[in-house]
Amino acid sequence: MAGCADKSSRGEPVTAGGNADATAGEAAPRLPDPGEGSKTGIRLKLFNKVMEKSLSSFIDQASFQRFVSTFHPFYKKNPQVMEHIHKQFIVDLQRTIQEDIDKLIEEGRLQCKLDTLDKLESDAKSSGEPAWRPCGVPEQDLCSFVMPYYQKQEVYLRQQLKRIKAENAALARRVQSGRDDIAHTEQHIATAVEKWKESAREHARLTSDLCPRDVFDVTSPPKSF
Residue range 31-50, pLDDT digits in tens: 444 444 345 678 888 888 89
- Contact between 59 and 93 under an 8 Å Cβ cutoff? The reply is yes
Are both 34 and 117 inside the same structural domain? yes
**Interatomic CA distance for residues 99 and 102, integer angstroms:** 5
Quote the pTM value. 0.38
- Contact between 97 and 27 under an 8 Å Cβ cutoff? The reply is no
Domain count, the chain: 2
Candidates 26, 18, 28; CA nearest to 64 is: 18
pLDDT in tens, 57-112: 888 888 888 888 888 888 888 888 888 898 998 999 889 988 998 888 888 888 88
Q: What is the pLDDT of residue 102?
A: 87
Average pLDDT over residues 112-123: 84
**What does DSSP assign to residue 136?**
S
Residue 131 in any domain: the answer is no
Residue 148 in any domain: the answer is no
The amino acid sitting at 206 is L
- Contact between 10 and 81 under an 8 Å Cβ cutoff? The reply is no
Range of the domain at 185: 162-211
Question: Comparing 216 with 128, which gets the higher pLDDT?
Answer: 128
**Interatomic CA distance for residues 108 and 154, integer angstroms:** 33
Are both 97 and 191 inside the same structural domain? no
Rounded percentage of the chain residues whose pLDDT exceeds 90: 23
215: left (phi over 0), alpha (psi -120 to 50) or beta: alpha
Q: What is the pLDDT of residue 33?
A: 47
Question: At which of 79, 107, 126 does a domain end?
Answer: 126
Residue 153 in any domain: the answer is no
Other C-beta atoms lying within 10 Å of the C-beta of residue 84: 13
